[in-house]
Amino acid sequence: MYRKIIEKLKNKNIAILGFGKEGKSTYNFIRRYLKEQKLTIIDKNPVETNDPNIELVIGDNYLNNLDKYDLIIKSPGISLKDIDLSNIKDKITSQLELVLEVFKNNIIGITGTKGKSTTTLLTYEMIKDQKEDVYLLGNIGIPLLDDVEKYNDNSTLVIEMSSHQLEFIKVSPHIAVILNLFQDHLDHAGSLEHYHDNKMNIFKYQTKDDYAIYSEDNEYLRKRMEGYNYQAKKYNIRFDNENIRENSVRIKDKKVYLNNEVIYEDGKRLIIGDHNLKNIMFVMTIAKILNLDLERASKKVKETKGLKYRMEYIGEFNGIKYYNDTIATIPDATISAVKAIGDVNTLIFGGLDRGIDYQEFIEFLKTSEIENLVCMPTTGTIIGKELNNTNKSIYFVETLKEAYELAKEKTKKGTSCLLSPAAASYEYFKNFEEKGMYFEKYVTGKDI
């Protein structure tokens, strides 16, 4: 089936827009089958190549003249919010769309502002436990075209889909999940409305034969669902037992019900917190749609370990428990982590200011049991000044190393220190993984 993708690309004037991990994956796929086809690589940064059939467009003006190409295969990290799209919108595609066009009926797509990586992993592990031919792909770190030759009619593709990946798609997956909508990625999308528009594309092109699973108790998402006539079979999920109707997924006394059937009973599990229990409600709904063995699926979900840098327990050192949650790039994620861990005495937070409203986060910190707030640039500094007249101990630092040293000194023994930025990390770090890696190194004293 992958050959249909090759046929679509053959003899086209193609531009690969963005030459990071996904852009290189796209180039490698094309060159496996179209070895001499002329290609253009477009990127703001320098690109090294020995390919005689490559034209390079690099530098500050790299987004000029995009209308000259037949097809623009865009990488997720490239923002087009500041350019006129009227002449190029129909030419823009992506790895995600190329794969959706061919394998739509095999795809489970999962998105949301927070929780999508964990939910994608849980879904993958649950299906893999009962079916061998399954792939974990997408925003979780694995480009879709890397192993496209292995996919067939019996494959299941579990794909984490970011708003960047969903922005220009014109095909939606067979089973689509939106966990929640909050404020995020305003620097890329340009506005909250456009960011949410991008997310909703995962439902927009579904048919009556598809499945849409969404959180009804998320205010942003509920309003979006009420304002558009999505065609798919809808499953509405709430973290309570209210407003029950057809295909309602609800929770009562730690039991998850789909309509009147118990599909999951909570117990000891490796990923903690009520927010992860809600993620499990989505996963078990997928299990029911796929007709999986629910008892076996429940067992696998409880046994699955979380991803690195997602409320990751590093260990106990000198009587202090350390948690690494650098994936938390919005306030809601940090609030969930504090609630899940329960005994956070010191919170290290702060990062890139992307225009997100932090007022609710500030009010949460004021009333929380956290005693020590270690504030890092830039958002941490701003928020810390708002908390100066509270009963909290506020500390301002410039580096992560300073933050760790201060937390080690101030955190009470028998309690926890949590690094959870509530902001993006790439003001001073390459990404959240790099920030998490350095924190782990400081805490453990080991090279990572």
Say if residue 21 is in the same domain as residue 77. Answer: yes
Q: Are residues 230 and 108 in the same domain?
A: yes
Domain boundary at 280, 303, 326, which?
303
Question: pLDDT tens digits for 102-132?
Answer: 999 999 999 999 999 999 999 999 999 999 9
Q: Is the pLDDT of residue 306 over 90?
A: no
Query: Do 280 and 230 share a structural domain?
Result: yes
Range of the domain at 28: 3-93
Same domain for 33 and 102?
no
Averaged pLDDT, 20-34? 97
Chosen domain end from 253, 282, 303:
303
Shared-domain flag, residues 216 and 365: no
Predicted local distance difference test score (pLDDT) of residue 82: 87
144, 162: one domain? yes
For 233-271, the pLDDT digits (tens) are 999 999 999 999 999 999 999 999 999 999 999 999 999
Residue 339 and residue 278 share a domain:
no
Residue range 372-388: average pLDDT? 96
Tens digit of each residue's pLDDT (9 = 90 or more) over 278-301? 999 999 999 999 999 999 999 999
Residue 328 and residue 432: Cα distance in Å, rounded? 9
**CATH number assigned to the domain comprising residue 182:** 3.40.1190.10
* pLDDT at residue 190 greater than cutoff 70: no
Select the more confidently predicted residue: 140 or 98: 98
Quick one: pLDDT at residue 191? 83
Are 397 and 375 in contact by the 8 Å Cβ rule? The answer is yes
Q: State the Cα–Cα distance between residues 200 and 322, nearest whole angstrom.
A: 36
pLDDT at residue number 399: 97
> Which pLDDT value is given to residue 152?
94
Same-domain status, 262 and 149: yes
- The percent of residues in the chain predicted with pLDDT above 90, rounded, is 90
Q: Tell me, yes or no, whether 325 and 228 share the same domain.
A: no
- 107-111 vs 156-160, strand pairing mode: parallel
Count of domains forming the chain:
3
> Same structural domain for residues 34 and 100?
no
Same domain? 146 vs 265: yes
207-216 tens-digit pLDDT: 999 999 999 9
| Residue 269 and residue 127 share a domain | yes
- Decide which of 43, 74, 93 is a domain's last residue: 93
Over residues 399-420, mean pLDDT: 98
* Structural contact between residues 106 and 135, judged by C-beta atoms closer than 8 angstroms: no
